Amino acid sequence: MVSDGGQPATVVPDLGWPERRRDDVPRGTSPIGWPAGIDPTGRMPAVDPPAPPAGLTLPAPDRTRVVAVTNQKGGVGKTTTAVNVAAALAQGGRRVLVVDLDPQGNASTALSIEHAEGTPGVYEVIVGGAAISDVVRASPEIEGLSVVPASIDLAGAEVDLVSLVARESRLNRALTAYLAEQEDSDQRVDYVFVDCPPSLGLLTVNALVAGKEILIPIQCEYYALEGVGQLLRTVDMVRTHLNPDLRVSTIVLTMHDARTRLSSGVADEVRAHFPDQVLRTAIPRSVRISEAPSYGQTVMTYDASSSGALSYLEVAREMAARGVTAGGTP
Ligand code: ATP
Ligand code: MG
């Protein structure tokens, strides 16, 4: 168990003070009505942040890495991690596909991809048998990044899938065909990130069958490891019956708050359990990260110089490096 010096676990509320800098204000116009340059929190007037490191190139993996981002615990940073690592890798010159496999459509929102009810997306692929090339959309913000959107229609998929043939491997089939097609036309996709819903139902199983790697975001809060045992048992089951190559390659600590002993305690405990999988970089709790989706952006474009963006860039670097060195993941 995580110890907090014998005291009951308390979480210090995020006051946002480490984030208050002169350049730490939003650009652009919020979809909920804040005019450009006006900071809705009443802070300093807008000043464009410094540009991200120019010309940064991240190494390409030997072959496409398909990564299921999963944790059945809700709100731990699955979507935030999927979209920001995907964005950082694409900014680093890689071709990246994000598959939004959550009826909430949060990854589609963060990447500014239309996903209103009725929009063709991942439901049509896994239930309707459509090709990914028919529904994939390019990110309007980031070159090299594309998205298979999810609309609320996907909420019915868990039920609709039950009666279908090969119900666990429908995403895998569609993805394999799409990746082969892209490779044949010299457009090889380097990374696919599948953003899973907070459950271990058939949608998540489809992601675990389609991917070789699993990325588990773990929030640096009390109860962080609760449920991870159940997730690992599901992974074992899928490995035994459906996907022998599947492995938990990466664990990312999220919402880390260096000011609390609780956060550090959880981080230490997770590192002790999974010494080879936990990345060195932990993602800090950051107001900029949580603001970005309301502007239809990742933090990588919303505020490239913020601590959140720099941390996700580091995570992308670590993942890319692990994929090309001995003991790497793919
Ligand atoms: P769900 O289980 O509902 O799919 P999730 O695991 O995908 O959730 P996110 O949606 O990524 O989790 O994050 C949950 C909430 O926490 C969001 O409001 C997000 O903006 C916020 N959040 C995520 N990471 C951070 C962070 N490092 N700092 C501050 N807020 C964060
Ligand atoms: Mg999510």
State the Cα–Cα distance between residues 225 and 328, nearest whole angstrom. 24
Do the bridges between strand 137-138 and strand 145-148 make them parallel or antiparallel, or are there none, so unpaired? antiparallel
| pTM as predicted | 0.85
Residue spans of alpha helices (H) in 242-306: 261-273, 287-291, 299-302
State the Cα–Cα distance between residues 121 and 16, nearest whole angstrom. 37
Ligand 1 and 84: CB distance under 6 A: no
What's the pLDDT score for residue 55? 63
Contact assessment for residue 293 and residue 112, using Cβ atoms and an 8 Å cutoff: no
Indicate which atom in ligand 1 lies nearest the CA of residue 292: 20
State the Cα–Cα distance between residues 117 and 26, nearest whole angstrom. 29
Residue 24 has pLDDT above 80, yes or no: no
Q: Is residue 36 part of a domain?
A: no
Q: Is residue 90 part of a domain?
A: yes
Indicate which atom in ligand 1 lies nearest the CA of residue 291: 20
Find where tokens 């995020």 sit.
Answer: 14
Ligand 1 and 37: CB distance under 6 A: no
State the Cα–Cα distance between residues 48 and 27, nearest whole angstrom. 7
- Range(s) of the domain holding residue 261: 54-324
State the Cα–Cα distance between residues 41 and 306, nearest whole angstrom. 17
Q: Is residue 33 part of a domain?
A: no
Overall number of domains in the chain: 1
Q: Is residue 11 part of a domain?
A: no
State the Cα–Cα distance between residues 99 and 111, nearest whole angstrom. 11
Please give the helix or strand (H or E) that residue 249 lies within, else none.
strand 247-254
Candidate from 72, 73, 79, 260 with most ligand 1 atoms within 8 A of CB, to mutate: 79
The CATH number of whichever domain residue 212 belongs to comes to: 3.40.50.300
pLDDT digits (tens, 9 = 90+) for 179-222: 999 999 999 999 999 999 999 999 999 999 999 999 999 999 98
What's the pLDDT score for residue 326? 35
Q: Which of 40, 295, 256 is nearest to 303 (CA)?
A: 295
Q: Is residue 6 part of a domain?
A: no
pLDDT digits (tens, 9 = 90+) for 54-84: 568 999 999 999 999 999 999 999 999 999 9
Q: Is residue 253 part of a domain?
A: yes
Ligand 1 and 82: CB distance under 6 A: no
State the Cα–Cα distance between residues 58 and 189, nearest whole angstrom. 14
Residue 270 has pLDDT above 70, yes or no: yes
